[in-house]
Amino acid sequence: MQQKIGFRGLGAYVPERVMTNEDWTRYVDTSDEWIVERTGIHQRRFAGEKETTVDLGMAAARLAMEEAAVQPGELREIIVATDTPEVYNPDTAAYIQHQIGAGEVPAYDLAGSGCAGFLQAVDLACSRVAVRGGPILVLGVEAISKIMSWQDRNTCVLFGDGAGAMVIDQGQDLVEVLAVTTGTDGSKADILGKEIGGTRVPFSKEVAEDNVHNRVVMNGREVFKEAVSRMSAAAHEVLNQVGWSTDDIDLFVPHQANIRILHSVAKSLGFPLEKVYINVQDYGNTGSASVPLALWEARNKGMVPAGSKVLLTAFGAGFHWAAVLLQF
């Protein structure tokens, strides 16, 4: 029988600390009404004082590994998608490899892919499993509260911290990845991102004095438009790969950027809202953690019984985008 490639373990974690919209009014000139109306976000979770990217990632990884019944020594590779690494260098995956007790296998980050990073890592892991065998641990993890500006109301209210993990493998008894697409449009690289601290604008005393060191550059309207069109196109692409239409899909799990983006993507694809999983109200935009966290919640609520066909899409800085089709 032909081996399938997919995931045999899924986990997610959000830190305990709840940050409400009301809480944000103590830091910036904003209101619960503005945030809810423009984004649909009511609250988000922020890592505790001593909690870091590795702590969040490890919590999600342990759940995924336990569910997959995979021992750390069996892992063939570890890929961590994050824009908020444990340290600038080396990569977060090195710390995860050590803490989880994996062997001396390749462990590396997909950094800078923003909110599309996790699905890009899933794509990479599936091809690596096909060539070298599995299992591979894939993480999407962000602790953005630690490194973003708490003074910029245009961006700070949008984000939250969290982690998601998958164990990708081959075999029969797994959730099959039926189709994948990923893409990049680097001509839009300056529309969304964090430029300070790189070689173009190195971190300096002046930067620190201007208090712009943590600034996220974002053209919100352009990001909005591109997110809708790229996520919709990527979704069509994977559906076309298997000859399905949106009617064949039982649950649509898009990147949880904000409620208006989610509604627009669903509308453009023709999904009724009852087929769209939405948790942005509780967690905000958790970047690369958003898709696995949403899928994990939906699965735990019994929304994807055996036989379900699930469509995932994501979009982020780069611009990068991706879509994945799953058969439960």
Residues in contact with ligand ACO by CB under 6 A are 30, 34-35, 38-39, 115, 153-154, 157-158, 192, 218, 220-221, 223-224, 227, 257-258, 285, 315-316
Q: Which of 115, 126, 156, 320 is catalytic?
A: 115
Task: Between 93 and 158, name the residue whose CB sits nearer to ligand ACO.
Answer: 158
Q: Is the peptide bond before 203 cis (omega within 30 degrees of 0)?
A: no
Given the DSSP bridges, would you call strands 4-13 and 162-171 parallel, antiparallel or unpaired?
Answer: antiparallel
**Nearest distance from residue 127's CB to ligand ACO, in Å?**
25
In whole angstroms, the minimum distance from the beta carbon of 283 to ligand ACO comes to 13
Those residues whose C-beta lies under 8 Å from the C-beta of residue 231, and which sit 6 or more positions away, are: 254, 255, 261, 265, 313, 314, 315, 321, 323
Catalytic status, residue 156:
no
In the bound state with ligand ACO, the residue whose beta carbon lies nearer, of 170 and 258, is: 258
Minimum Å distance from CB 318 to ligand ACO?
10
Distance between CA atoms of residues 22 and 77, nearest Å: 42
Q: Of 126, 156, 214, 255, which one is the catalytic site residue?
A: 255
How crowded is residue 176: how many other Cβ atoms within 10 Å of its Cβ?
A: 16
Provide the residue count of the chain: 328
Distance of alpha carbon 156 from alpha carbon 174, whole angstroms: 38
Tokens representing 215 are 């600034």
Closest to ligand ACO by CB, 30 vs 241, is 30
179 or 257: CB nearest ligand ACO? 257
DSSP 45: E
What's the min distance (Å) between Cβ of 12 and ligand ACO?
18
Spatial contact of 78 and 90, defined as CB atoms under 8 Å apart? no
The span from the CA of 141 to the CA of 287, in Å, is 8
How far apart are CB 115 and ligand ACO at their closest, in Å? 4
Of 214, 258, 285, 320, the catalytic one is: 285
Q: Is 236 a catalytic residue?
A: no
Of all residues in the shown chain, the one whose CB is closest to ligand ACO is: 220
The answer to whether residue 214 is catalytic is no
Q: Which of 146, 128, 145 is nearest to 137 (CA)?
A: 128
Please identify, using beta-carbon distances, which residue of 30 and 279 lies nearer to ligand ACO.
30
Active site residues: 115, 255, 285
